[in-house]
Amino acid sequence: MILQLNPPLHVVTPKGEAWARLVIDYGIDHNTVYVCDLFEDRSTLHVDSEELYWGGNAMYDLPHPQPPKERQI
């Protein structure tokens, strides 16, 4: 299943801040994957849900999270 996020969500990925615009769900045996457009260079990145952090929200006094460390493969 693929779901388009409208509007896109501000997220923090291992490669930096991005807009999450699509969600891909491969089923119960796999993590949900988010398709993100990076702010820095406008490249597209597929990120597992466990590596994704939501951006902060000043209205609720939630600070922006620190970017996670990049995965070493």
How many residues can be counted in the chain?
73
List, for residues 29-66, the tens digit of each pLDDT value.
888 999 999 999 989 999 998 888 886 677 777 777 66
Query: With 0-12 CB in 10 A as exposed, 13-18 as middle and 19+ as buried, what is 34?
Result: buried
This prediction has a pTM of 0.74
Higher-pLDDT residue of 14 and 69 is: 14
No. of helices (H) and no. of strands (E), the chain? 0, 5
Say how many C-beta atoms besides its own lie within 10 A of residue 13's C-beta.
21
Task: List the chain domain ranges.
Answer: 2-57
CA angle, 51 then 49 then 36, to 5°:
85
